Structure 1
Amino acid sequence: MSLRNSILIIAIILLVDQFVKIYIKTNFIYGEDGQINVTNWFKILLIENEGMAWGAKIPGMHGKLILTVFRILAIFGIGYWLYDASTKHSSKYLMVAIALIFAGAAGNIIDSVFYGVIFDDSYGHLSTAFSDNPYGTWFHGKVVDMLYFPIFEGTFPDWLPFYGGQPFKFFNAIFNIADMAISTGVGILIVFNKKAFAKKESLGTHS
């Protein structure tokens, strides 16, 4: 797989990811009050986070800035990995996986770097782009999430230590297109590990 095709994958994912995020940000009120119930197990709503998995964040005044800078540095590493894989004519599995991870990381970095100075907040009203009163500053934007799949709800059995008797939902995370790209890329590396990292001479006509 050529580097050009990998870049095309990245461009398509970034366009879709940003289109969806901007639409959700400017057409949904923050939280469950503004959600759309597509089905009982699929909901669309606007949630924002600091950019780490499960809404986690680095504590302290400069925690968000540290996270954003780290992610920018990391994406340069992923970009080099993609370029290096292309020069070595690595397998399509590896090239696609890296492209997906790169696109997902880049999509969320765009939110972190730019959204704080582009949008105002979405609490109780619709957000506007290029607002005179943006909610944040450069490198302090929040990542927009919108996809929610509460497929199953239940209660942990009473005999279970710590969590016994407590309610739970599966799947409780709210995520976006960029997160899906990253997860899919990582999944390819795990499930198709041998094919992704196969030596060039063993790939034959399948490389």
Structure 2
Amino acid sequence: PPPPMRRYLLLALGSIFVVVADQLTKIWAVSALSLSPPGGLPEDASHILSRVQVVFDGWFNFKLAGNKGAAWGLFRTLPESWRVPFFVIIGLVAIGVIVTLYRRAHGQRLLRWALTLILGGAVGNLIDRVRLGFVVDFIDWYYGEAHWPTFNIADVAISVGVGLLVVDMIVQGRSAADAADDPAKATD
């Protein structure tokens, strides 16, 4: 087994990479897309004025948005005095759970990558919540009039990480089923 600190290198460096990519793209989005006065965003996420930068006409734009809620705006109507502390606490608990699961993921490379991506995304969005009281989103996918909720790089990392978690559960489930079907493999 790798030395104890080396085991956490992927978690640390991978998460830092996601956080830096997320925060840099959000800085770009605010500076390039915001119609607010230079140097800032409004305190209320619902008052963000944004220009739209078309990337692929009919499919993909950059458009600044502030998300006061969770995924797809869940819990956005909670009073701010409850909402921000609620999401900060949830974020900190999630970080603790992810690190604990990572510690227990011996030899499970796919699971470790999944947790690394999820951690980086969670920290990226947590930084926004602490700093702004909402999450900066700017990626707008759509077809015709049907728009997917606007998202950011942290959300992409979380989604890919969750996808890898599902794949890992399927692979681990098959491995366990194969071991149960073949007692010789179970003793290996």
Which band: TM-score by shorter chain? 0.7 to 0.9
Residue among 75, 84, 92 paired with 2:104: 84
Q: What is residue 173 of structure 1 aligned with on the other side?
A: 149
Per-residue deviation, 1:83: 2.3
Q: What is residue 87 of structure 2 aligned with on the other side?
A: 67
Q: What is residue 65 of structure 2 aligned with on the other side?
A: 47
Asked if structure 2 preserves the Cα contact closer than 8 Å seen for 1:14 and 1:106, the reply is yes
Residue among 137, 157, 163 paired with 1:187: 163
Task: State the alpha-carbon separation in 2 of the partners of residues 32 and 172 from structure 1.
Answer: 19
Higher RCO by CA contacts (8 Å cutoff, separation 6 or greater): 1
Per-residue deviation, 1:63: 2.4
Letter aligned with residue 147 of structure 1: I
SS of 1:173 mapped into structure 2: coil
Letter aligned with residue 53 of structure 1: A
| 1:145 pairs with 2:134 | no
CA, structure 1 residues 143+196, in 2 after alignment: closer, same or farther (shift >3 Å)?
A: farther
CA, structure 1 residues 79+192, in 2 after alignment: closer, same or farther (shift >3 Å)?
A: closer
Structure 1 residues 43-52 or 28-37, which shifts more? 28-37
Task: State the alpha-carbon separation in 2 of the partners of residues 172 and 103 from structure 1.
Answer: 22
Aligned residues: 157
Residue among 113, 121, 141 paired with 2:130: 113
Asked if structure 1 preserves the Cα contact closer than 8 Å seen for 2:64 and 2:138, the reply is yes
Asked if structure 1 preserves the Cα contact closer than 8 Å seen for 2:10 and 2:116, the reply is no
CA, structure 1 residues 3+33, in 2 after alignment: closer, same or farther (shift >3 Å)?
A: closer
Q: RMSD in angstroms over aligned alpha carbons?
A: 2.4
Task: State the alpha-carbon separation in 1 of the partners of residues 160 and 20 from structure 2.
Answer: 17
| 1:34 pairs with 2:51 | yes
Task: State the alpha-carbon separation in 1 of the partners of residues 84 and 10 from structure 2.
Answer: 33
Q: What is residue 162 of structure 1 aligned with on the other side?
A: none
Asked if structure 2 preserves the Cα contact closer than 8 Å seen for 1:189 and 1:196, the reply is no
Asked if structure 2 preserves the Cα contact closer than 8 Å seen for 1:43 and 1:148, the reply is yes
Asked if structure 1 preserves the Cα contact closer than 8 Å seen for 2:34 and 2:64, the reply is yes
Task: State the alpha-carbon separation in 1 of the partners of residues 49 and 124 from structure 2.
Answer: 24
Asked if structure 2 preserves the Cα contact closer than 8 Å seen for 1:58 and 1:67, the reply is no
Structure 2: gaps of 5 or more residues: 36-47, 180-188
Asked if structure 2 preserves the Cα contact closer than 8 Å seen for 1:58 and 1:64, the reply is no
TM-score (norm 2): 0.73
Structure 1: gaps of 5 or more residues: 117-140, 154-167, 203-207
Indicate the structure with greater helix content: 2
Residue among 12, 18, 21 paired with 1:13: 18
| 1:3 pairs with 2:8 | yes
